[in-house]
Amino acid sequence: MMIEGKKILLGVCGSIASYKSATLTRLLVKAGANVKVIMTHEATRFITPLTLSTLSKNPVYSTYYKEDTGEWNSHVELGLWADAFLIAPATANTIAKLAYGLCDNLLTATYLSAKCPVYFAPAMDLDMWKHPSTQRNVRLIEEYGNIQIKPGYGELASGLTGEGRMAEPEEIFSFIEHTFSSDQLLRGKKAIVTAGPTYEAIDPVRFIGNHSSGKMGFAIAEELAGLGAEVTLISGPSHLSTRNKGITRIPVMSSDEMLNAVEKSFPASDITVMSAAVADYKPAIVSAEKIKKDPADFNLELVKTTDILAKAGSSKQAGQILVGFALETNDEEANAIKKLRKKNLDFIVLNSMNDKGAGFGTDTNKVTIIDKSLNVTHFPLKTKEAVAKDICRKIIELI
């Protein structure tokens, strides 16, 4: 089984569904996983730590330190240890804390330190689950890249019948097992992702740039790494950080620096996704000193930058996959197809600035994928993490 040997951190919150955590722990251990359990204080009222410690064959963590010895239970070490962090059951209270970064217990502090994929299985009563605040909180933590294992429909502890019942342990186990199976699909592949803007210097203070945040490229890099690829992320200026240890980040500033980084890595790459918003022009002369604002008029001579995507396309070898992006404002599909053909791409991801919620700086995107056979697939507005999954599914199809 793909789950054998995996290190799984199981978070248990205070819910009547906590009793299911015992069966879930047993299933994971029986499959060969190394399981460590973190319980909230409220969870210990529903199921004893001794039960989960016996089943997991590991100590159970519930406080920041051991009261008898004072020894520290490091949330940072726990977050780094795990291959997956599974929170089941995830209560409305804990989901709200995850959404807003509150860490008043060991479980939520570990969540903020986790470098691995995080899965959560909601468990609560029907009205709590349907409440707009809960639905908003679920959407928020999904936008952060966390993965929901959806609750089922059935009889609830209140006596009501409806949604909110935690997925059964067997369902959760199958979900996690499938995830670990699918993460092997790109193992052994080398990938390049470019992300963010480039800044083209005018003088030591000023530059030509754009509003790209890098969010789309970073999401693609995380998804490729999650699928097992060895990822080189070449990023222009961005405040974003990476989570997966399979990502090597190369920071660059200008289009020339990005070109050099791509040229070094491209010959050995299997997959290259060029999502960076590279400047089309740069100043012909960069002033060594800050330009004074004395003249009433100021003229800046610009020259074209090297088209990195076209250069990669011209040297692409059989077996290499090259993906480009097109951000258009008019004649979107026609312009994207022209770019696809001209630059020898396997497929192009089209954004339209006319679509609300798409483009620079947002947490969402609305894309159309066009491949070299001119198959066109339209997608609805999604989080950039979800868009990254769609792009990677297309890459896997081609491989």
The 10s digit of each residue's pLDDT in 73-89 is 889 899 999 999 999 99
One domain, residues 50 and 197: no
290 is in an annotated binding site: yes
Query: Does residue 151 share a domain with residue 171?
Result: yes
25 within a domain of the structure (yes/no): yes
Residue 294 forms part of a structural domain? no
Angle subtended by helix axes 92-100 and 132-143, to nearest 10: 50
Residue ranges making up the domain that contains 376:
190-287+299-398
Q: For strand 7-12 and strand 84-90, is the pairing parallel, antiparallel, or unpaired?
A: parallel
- Residue 212 has which token pair? 């790209």
Per-residue model confidence (pLDDT) at position 361: 63
Active site residues: 210
Q: 274 and 331: one domain?
A: yes
Query: Is 104 within any annotated ligand binding site?
Result: no
116 and 205 share a domain?
no
Instruction: Please state whether beta strands 367-371 and 347-352 pair in parallel, antiparallel, or not at all (unpaired).
Output: antiparallel
Determine whether the annotation assigns residue 343 to a binding site. Answer: yes
139 shares a domain with 87: yes
- Is 1 part of any domain? no
Pair (214, 347) in one structural domain: yes
Domain assignment present for 292: no
Q: From residue 30, how far is each of 65, 85, 94 by CA, in Å? A: 29, 18, 28
pLDDT at 182: 58
Which of 152, 182, 212 is where one domain is finished?
A: 182
- DSSP letter at 19 equals G
Residue 255 CB partners (closer than 8 Å, separation 6+): 198, 200, 278, 279, 282, 305, 306, 308
pTM: 0.60
Q: What is the 3-state composition of the chain as percent helix, strand, coil, each rounded to the nearest 5?
A: 35, 25, 40
- Looking at residue 183, its pLDDT comes to 57
Give the per-residue pLDDT at 262.
98
Residue 221 resides in a domain: yes
User: d(Cα 118, Cα 141) in Å, to the nearest integer?
Assistant: 10
Residue 293 lies in a domain: no
Q: Is residue 347 part of an annotated ligand binding site?
A: no
pLDDT digits over 239-282, tens only? Answer: 998 877 779 999 999 999 999 999 999 999 999 999 999 999 99
Q: Could you say which of 182, 201, 230 is where a domain stops? A: 182
Regarding whether 246 and 211 lie in a shared domain, the answer is: yes
DSSP string, 312-358: HHHHPPTT-EEEEEEEESSSHHHHHHHHHHHTT-SEEEEEETTSTT-
371 and 227 both lie in a single domain: yes
Which residue type does 316 have? K
User: Do 157 and 280 lie in a common domain?
Assistant: no
| Residue 204 and residue 327 share a domain | yes
User: Are 324 and 310 spatial neighbours (Cβ–Cβ below 8 Å)?
Assistant: no
DSSP per-residue codes, 167-217? PPHHHHHHHHHHHHHHTTTTTT-EEEEEESB--EESSSS-EE-----SHHH
**Residues 83 and 117 grouped into a single domain:** yes
Q: How far, in Å, CA of 103 to CA of 36, rounded? A: 19
What's the number of CA atoms in the CB half-sphere (13 Å) around residue 44?
13
Residue 39 CA to residue 63 CA, distance in Å, equals: 8
Indicate the number of domains in the chain: 2
Give the residue ranges of the chain where pLDDT is below 50: none
Residue 154's φ and ψ, nearest 5 degrees, are 170, -170
199 close to 209: Cβ distance less than 8 angstroms? yes
Distance separating alpha carbons of residues 52 and 20, to the nearest angstrom: 11
211 CB-contact burial (10 Å; exposed 0-12 / middle 13-18 / buried 19+) = exposed
CATH number of the domain residue 173 falls in: 3.40.50.1950
